[in-house]
Amino acid sequence: MPLAPLLIIFTIGMPMSAQQRTQARSMVISRSGIVATSQTLASQAGAQVLARGGTAMDAAIAANAMMTVVEPMSCGVGGDLFALYYDAKSKKLSGMNASGPSPAAMTIGRLKELGHSSMPQDGIHSVTVPGCVDGWRKLHQKFGKLPWRDIFAPARYYARNGFPLTEIIQDHWRNSVSKLHDSEYSRTTFLKDGRAPDVGDIVRNADLAKTLDLLAEQGADAFYKGAIAKGILETSRKRSGLMTAADLDSFQAEWVDPIKTTYRGWTVYELPPNTQGVGALAMLNIMEKLPLQDQSAGSTLAWHYRIEAQKLAYQDLKKYLADPRFFKMPLEGMLSKTYAAERAKLIDPEKARCDFEPGNPLPAKGDTIYLSVIDREGNIASLIQSVYLSFGSGLAVEGFGFHLHNRGGLFEFDAEHPNALAPKKRPFHTIIPAMMEKDNQRIGFGIMGGLNQAQAHAQFVSNIVDHGMNLQSALEAPRFTKLNFSGCDVMVEARIPANVREDLTMRGHVLDVQGDFSGWMGGGQAVMRDEQAKINYAGSSPRKDGAAIPEPEDYFSGARPKKR
């Protein structure tokens, strides 16, 4: 079979010699499956599940469960989950929204009675129903192959026997020490003599092992109806929380249709509101109207155009994004190419705007972990899961070894806002998985970091499409991020050349220069299937501790390779 058609995406824009390249890592390339996560033990766990005959979804859940052990400040069963899954046999893309609503008794008025003048950012009143476990259940029921019990084996093993703490995760842990001191249980469970464990320290969590045992043996009902539910409700009761047994028992994760746009011949998929995926697509639509493909990836004008497109897209995100069960946002209008063209006209190529306002898209007629998995059949899981801010609400469920998230902190306290707090309502959600496809190539990708995510997605897509980068290079390339909705301030990585930063400053951008591989820009993972060659590719961002790890073949047995 000729190689040329198979390598088009990876030869565009690559250096003549590998010795001259700017990316630090090579892609992982395999005929077998690959698992890419932000911690190597989680990637290894998923790869071993693939080797046992599991699907991409089996491996994704196993890796996610493992991440709850090795990176507990970022994810866990006390948080929410979103996923995209491409089923190679049916050629269908499915979306999962496993984000939980506020308790039925929670209202703005009730919180005001309790003394709050704004939405709590931690504590029991920032907690919404955790959706992760029911998301796992529904995803496994539809796309799993291995027994539910088996996919928890790696996480159970390491929670009980311990693992050596890695560098970037240790830094996040150390920065959360004061938050963990707020609770005696958190202090004794997650700190060592009152401090964060050091790099290389063996970390164990026997209570989390018990939680994982219950989930493995009793299923998701243990979390929403059984012993774990009782622990959550007791944690809430002790702090005068409003969550009830009915809030937990009634929760159902939801299958949703992905939303999409096209970008210079590629189709890019995100999940619909209440996630910010629409922001990534709107930003790409604006960027498509700008001559980015005529610029080098590191040119001043390319950076300027991308930053200005982000500002425009995020203004609409702030104004309109909410739970669609409570507010009919102008989604199709926001994704309209005509609307994007009008918004793009507001960008001055010579000057930064600090005062963009939301547009008027017409209604149509009628701290987080991300992982991606591809298996040998070409199924792709793009999954993201979070407890929001580091260690979530700061409240760990006593006796069960995990924290409840604080996703409710993203509600608005203004009753007139589309995203206003209301009973049984899901808040604005920052975490988003994504996919993109063209011809025989299909990519599952995601990049972490709160409001960073939608703008990081758009930059990743542009790196692939406009500048011919491969997966690893596109993940590693310098990025910007803007973590607010106004002004000309923007964070950039120090790898952007000094002369380009000077030119951006002259255009009016107020740069906050971060490190070479700044965590503010978000770590990410990506996998790709070349369907014609039946070859899989993967990349993993150096902004995290993880790696992409291929599924091992059964070479010690002497068996012939499995058919593909």
Q: Which residues are catalytic?
A: 368
Distance from chain centroid for Cα 266: 21
Alpha-carbon radius of gyration of the chain? 23
Report the 10 Å Cβ neighbour count for 210.
Answer: 18
Q: What is the Cα–Cα distance from 493 to 513, expressed in whole angstroms?
A: 6
Closest CA to 347 of 379, 315, 387: 315
For residue 136, give both structure tokens. Answer: 């796992």
Closest CA to 496 of 521, 516, 510, 512: 516
Helical H runs in 376-513? 452-465, 471-476, 498-506
Strand ranges (E), 286-352? none
Q: What is the Cα–Cα distance from 198 to 166, expressed in whole angstroms?
A: 9
Q: What is the Cα–Cα distance from 445 to 465, expressed in whole angstroms?
A: 14
Q: What is the Cα–Cα distance from 228 to 396, expressed in whole angstroms?
A: 12
What are the C-alpha distances in Å from 309 to residues 287, 288, 313, 526? 6, 10, 6, 24
Distant-in-sequence, close-in-space partners of 160: CB < 8 Å, separation ≥ 6: 204, 206, 209
Report the 10 Å Cβ neighbour count for 136.
Answer: 31
| Contact (CB, 8 A) for 149 and 437 | no
